[in-house]
Structure formats: structure tokens, C-alpha cells
């Protein structure tokens, strides 16, 4: 039998049972769409984290106490401002070091108040990280040295407290202490559901007084070039270790952060894909099931075809094509739905989604493969039917 004929017969058979074919396909559609969407979300999250870490600035070292690994409780930092001075000397200038102490605090302007992330920083922060202002000015060196009560607001904080008014020059309270707004950051947006615009920068000296502490949570150091990162990090860790015996310090690069995050998100994507794969498998079992029904239902037809000269192979091919058609049409529909769904997720929710062609190709390949895999048993059963018995079936 010509293959074109087998395709036509298979299509006719599917068309003859539209509802059943449609429902069977639905299993595959959902499976494939799930694979495409979930892999897109995993990939999107990974891309976003990568662009974010890269967007922090270039040649950065993040110095924190403790071993850097995920799932470890943050340790209370033993570092203080004199440690920052030591690091500043090693790094080659105040502009290259951005120390931070942070705390969640109540901020208020007039009757509006909210809970925001308050960061005690120095004037070098926008030079180490990439941060730009929409209005006003950033903190100055004299603000930091004198512990002046001035604040630079993230976009979200400025919106919440001042609405459409320009906050620069306005008064506000941070943890019950009066501050004057000197600048507003440009909008950063959300990433992974975290609002990056929900922060208030104040001089680190003012922050330490406000929080009643002398600690510094961590520092970021900008190296002159990429090759400096390793040696500089080692020198900083050694110097801090000497000053605080018994505490381990870590200096991590962006590449290291990316490596760890990438691994985590890779596993996440894999798990999501596996879950979606299971639903695709279930869809495949559905195809197998319906093909068995189809073979049983058309026993007489098979008997007749055999009587007039269909070889066992012809029958097997006919039913295999039918199964593959079911999954291929279902797979294509699923890909369409999956891409649409991923775009919708990306557009309407904070969850990022990036459709990857390998996931689309894989999902389609798997669904067609599932068709063959799960079509083989019913098709072979059809091929082996005894024509005499088959013709006698009512």
C-alpha cells in the first residue's frame, strides 16, 4: 500500500470519530503545552536572574561573612566601618567599595506609611553598582561622614509615599526619625516577584545610629579589571579573617553567583519539564487506549482489508499512522497553546517566560514518539488479527 493512502485512511478514521479523536488529542495537547510553558518559565527565570546579576555592574566582588551557599542561614556580620577602611585600602580607593547595612523599617510621609527595605550605604554605591537617579542627587561624601539624615528613594517608595508629587526636598520618617528626601531612583521593575524599587538609601552612618548597631552586613568591591577579581578577593578575605579570627569570609564574583543560581534554576527547569513530561506520558497512554478501542471497533474492517489483500504490515502502518497523527496534531496544537500561554504568562504576571526552540522541538518530538511508542501495541494487535475471526466479529 502506498503511504499516501495510509495517511488518507488514517485521517478519515480520525475524522469519523471527531469527538473521540479530539478528547484523545487533548491529553497530548495539555502535555505538550505544559512542557512548553513550564520550560519557558524556567528558562525565563534563569535569563532574568542572569541579566540581573550582570546588570549589577562589572567586575564586582561581593564580600560577606560566612560561606556562600544557598540554604544557609545568614550569619550576623562581625564587620564594622574600620573593616571597610581596610578593604578600601586594599581595593585602591573609597569609590571602589560599597558597604551596606540593611533592615526592614517603617517609612512614613504624612499619613501614608509602608514597610520598606532601608539600606545604609555610602556615596560610592552608584559608582560600584549601576544605579541611576530620576530626580535630585545621590548621597554625598559629607552626608556619609556626618551621618546626615537624608534619603534617596526607590521608585516604588516614592510613588507610594508621594504619588505624583516630586519627593525631592520633602520630609519623611524612617523608623520614626525625620529624614529629608534628596533623590529618587529610576525604576528597576520587579524580578522573580521581588519589587526592586522598594528601597530607601540613607548614609550608612545614619543607618547605624538608627538601628543602634555598628555592624556592616556586606560590601561590594569593584575591581579594576576581571583578572584582578581573584587575587583581590583572596587578599580581602585574608585581611578580614585576620581581624575577626573564627569567622570565615567569602568574596564571590558575579560568575560564581551565576553558576550557583544557574544550577538551581537548571534543576528547577528540569523538575518542571519532568512533571510536564509525566502529563505527556499520561496523554500517550490515552492514545494507546483509544487506539486499542479503535482496533476492536474496526475488527471487521481489518478482516475485510486483510481478505482483499492487505498485508499485516499494511494494517500495522495504517494504525501507527493514525496514532502518530493523533499525537502530532495534538502536539502542534499543544505547541501553539504553549507558546501562547508562555507569552500570556510573561505579559500578565511577574513570572518571566522565554519560549525556547529546543523545548518546542523536544515536546513535538516526544509527542510524535509517544504516538509511535503507544501506537505500536494496538497496531501490532490489529496486524496480527486472523481475518476469518475478524470477519465473523459482529
Partner 1 sequence: MYRMEGLEVPALRGVTLTVARGDYLAIAGPSGSGKSTLMHLLGGLDRPTTGQLSIDGRDVTQLSATDLAQLRNRTIGFVFQSFHLLPRTSAVDNVGMPLVYAGVRAAVRRERATEMLDRVGLAHRLSHRPNQLSGGEQQRVAIARALVTAPSLLLADEPTGNLDSATGADVLALLESLNESSGVAVVLVTHDHEVAARARRQIRMRDGLVVADSVVVADAAQVGGP
Looking at the Cβ atoms of 5 and 85, the one nearer to partner 1 is 5
The residue among 101 and 325 lying less far from partner 1, judged by its C-beta, is: 325
Min dist CB 7 to partner 1, Å, is: 12
CB of 49 to partner 1, least distance (A): 56
CB nearer to partner 1: give 2 or 242.
2
Minimum separation from the CB atom of position 307 to partner 1 (A): 5
Nearer to partner 1, 145 or 386 (CB): 386
- The distance of closest approach from Cβ of residue 387 to partner 1 in the complex, given in angstroms and rounded to an integer, is 5
Contact positions toward partner 1, by CB under 8 A? 1-2, 5, 12, 16, 300-301, 303-314, 387-388, 391
Q: Which set of grid coordinates corresponds to residue 302?
A: 481489518
Nearer to partner 1, 14 or 220 (CB): 14
Nearer to partner 1, 17 or 191 (CB): 17
CB of 301 to partner 1, least distance (A): 6
User: In angstroms, what is the minimal distance from the CB of 385 to partner 1?
Assistant: 11
Amino acid at each position: 500500500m502506498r503511504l499516501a493512502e495510509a495517511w488518507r485512511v488514517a485521517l478519515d478514521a480520525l475524522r469519523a470519530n471527531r469527538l473521540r479523536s479530539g478528547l484523545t488529542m487533548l491529553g497530548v495537547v495539555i502535555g505538550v503545552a505544559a512542557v512548553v510553558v513550564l520550560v519557558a518559565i524556567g528558562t525565563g527565570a534563569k535569563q532574568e536572574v542572569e541579566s540581573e546579576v550582570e546588570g549589577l555592574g562589572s567586575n564586582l566582588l561581593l564580600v560577606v561573612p560566612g560561606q556562600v551557599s544557598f540554604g544557609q542561614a545568614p550569619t550576623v556580620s562581625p564587620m564594622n566601618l574600620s573593616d571597610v577602611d581596610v578593604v578600601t585600602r586594599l581595593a585602591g580607593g573609597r569609590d571602589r567599595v560599597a558597604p551596606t547595612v540593611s533592615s526592614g523599617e517603617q517609612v512614613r510621609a504624612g499619613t501614608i506609611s509602608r514597610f520598606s527595605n532601608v539600606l545604609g550605604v555610602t556615596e560610592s554605591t552608584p559608582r560600584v553598582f549601576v544605579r541611576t537617579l530620576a530626580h535630585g542627587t545621590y548621597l554625598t561624601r559629607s552626608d556619609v561622614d556626618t551621618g546626615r539624615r537624608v534619603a534617596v528613594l526607590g521608585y516604588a517608595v516614592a510613588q507610594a509615599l508621594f504619588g505624583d508629587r516630586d519627593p525631592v526636598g520633602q520630609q519623611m520618617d524612617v523608623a520614626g526619625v525625620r529624614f529629608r528626601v534628596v533623590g529618587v531612583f529610576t525604576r528597576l521593575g520587579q524580578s522573580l516577584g521581588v519589587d526592586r524599587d522598594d528601597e530607601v538609601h540613607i548614609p550608612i552612618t545614619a543607618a547605624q545610629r538608627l538601628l543602634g548597631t555598628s555592624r556592616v552586613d556586606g560590601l561590594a568591591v569593584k575591581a579594576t579589571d576581571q583578572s584582578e577579581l581573584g587575587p583581590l578577593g583572596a587578599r580581602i578575605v585574608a585581611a578580614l579573617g585576620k581581624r575577626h579570627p573564627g569567622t570565615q569570609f567569602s568574596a564571590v564574583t558575579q560568575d560564581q553567583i551565576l553558576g550557583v543560581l544557574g544550577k538551581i534554576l537548571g534543576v528547577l527547569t528540569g523538575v518542571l519539564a519532568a512533571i510536564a513530561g509525566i502529563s505527556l506520558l499520561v496523554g500517550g497512554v490515552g492514545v494507546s487506549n483509544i487506539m486499542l478501542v479503535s482496533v476492536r471497533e474496526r475488527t471487521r474492517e481489518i478482516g475485510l482489508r486483510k481478505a482483499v489483500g492487505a498485508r499485516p504490515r499494511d494494517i500495522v502502518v495504517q494504525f501507527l499512522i493514525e496514532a502518530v497523527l493523533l499525537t502530532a496534531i495534538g502536539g502542534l496544537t499543544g505547541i501553539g497553546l504553549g507558546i501562547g500561554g508562555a507569552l500570556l504568562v510573561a505579559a500578565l504576571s511577574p513570572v518571566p517566560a522565554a519560549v525556547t526552540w529546543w523545548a518546542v522541538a523536544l515536546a513535538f518530538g516526544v509527542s510524535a514518539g509517544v504516538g509511535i511508542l503507544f501506537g505500536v501495541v494496538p497496531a501490532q494487535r490489529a496486524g496480527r488479527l486472523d481475518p476469518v475471526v475478524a470477519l465473523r466479529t459482529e
